[in-house]
Chains A and B, each alone.
Chain A
């Protein structure tokens, strides 16, 4: 049981380049999230998904796109990277409340450190 995994761990992009961050979870969770963490600002929600095939915007969605084609995977795309997107990106997953696990906890991946020059 690996929990939540993220690839890659580190990446450096030039302005205007594109990339996709992959998040995978093996806990059969319905909910998945993408956050960015910047110093002194906590975690800000970029996009989230409440189930396979669904996505929704969070607090800071501009410049990012997501897809949830399979329940276990949640992809975050940057079509044209900008220096303002330099950040640490965290993926998280959560079981649906009322399910068998009755869990309220979000499980986080280890993060992806992205630098855009």
Chain B
């Protein structure tokens, strides 16, 4: 089955850029998602990218996909304290299900 890996922790200063990385194993994943989880809450979709794209930009968010290396990254520009949360990478496995990475806890320091 699909394995998804992420670093567990990332700390950045307010105003800096954050880059959260993800590697996965199933090259047939057609959609790859980023979810955000705030404390005590469920997950919310941040953005997603189709596998035939290399990059997608959405306001402060930039997603980069390297299919050859099976590497996905999420860049948050001008990181704010409200961006502190856990971020999950989730490749779509078979059109129905997702496989979630362990999550990266982003801490934004003032």
Task: Write the residues of chain A forming the contact surface with B, with a CB cutoff of 8 angstroms.
Answer: 4, 31, 33, 35, 40-45, 48, 50, 58-59, 90, 92, 97, 104-106, 108-111
Query: Within the complex, what minimum Cβ distance (angstroms) separates A95 from chain B?
Result: 12
**Residues of chain B in range 50-96 having any CB-CB distance to chain A below 8 Å:** 88, 92, 95-96
Given contacts A42-B4, A42-B88, A59-B1, contact A106 B98 (CB under 8 A): yes
Contacts of A45 in B (CB 8 A): 97-99
- We find that the number of chain B residues with CB closer than 8 angstroms to chain A is 23
The answer on a CB contact under 8 Å between B102 and A41 is yes
Contacts of B41 in A (CB 8 A): 110-111
The answer on a CB contact under 8 Å between B97 and A111 is no
Query: Within the complex, what minimum Cβ distance (angstroms) separates B37 from chain A?
Result: 9
Q: With contacts A42-B4, A58-B97, A92-B42 known, what are 17 further pairs, Cβ within 8 A? A: A4-B42, A31-B96, A40-B8, A42-B100, A42-B101, A43-B43, A44-B100, A45-B98, A48-B96, A104-B31, A104-B48, A104-B92, A109-B42, A110-B41, A110-B42, A111-B41, A111-B42
Contacts A/B (CB < 8 Å), 9 sampled: A40-B8, A40-B103, A41-B102, A42-B88, A43-B88, A45-B99, A58-B97, A105-B45, A106-B43
Interface membership of B27, Cβ < 8 A: no
A50–B95 alpha-carbon span in the complex (Å): 11
Contacts of A92 in B (CB 8 A): 42-43
Task: Write the residues of chain B forming the contact surface with A, with a CB cutoff of 8 angstroms.
Answer: 1, 4, 8, 31, 33, 40-45, 48, 88, 92, 95-103
Contacts of A31 in B (CB 8 A): 96
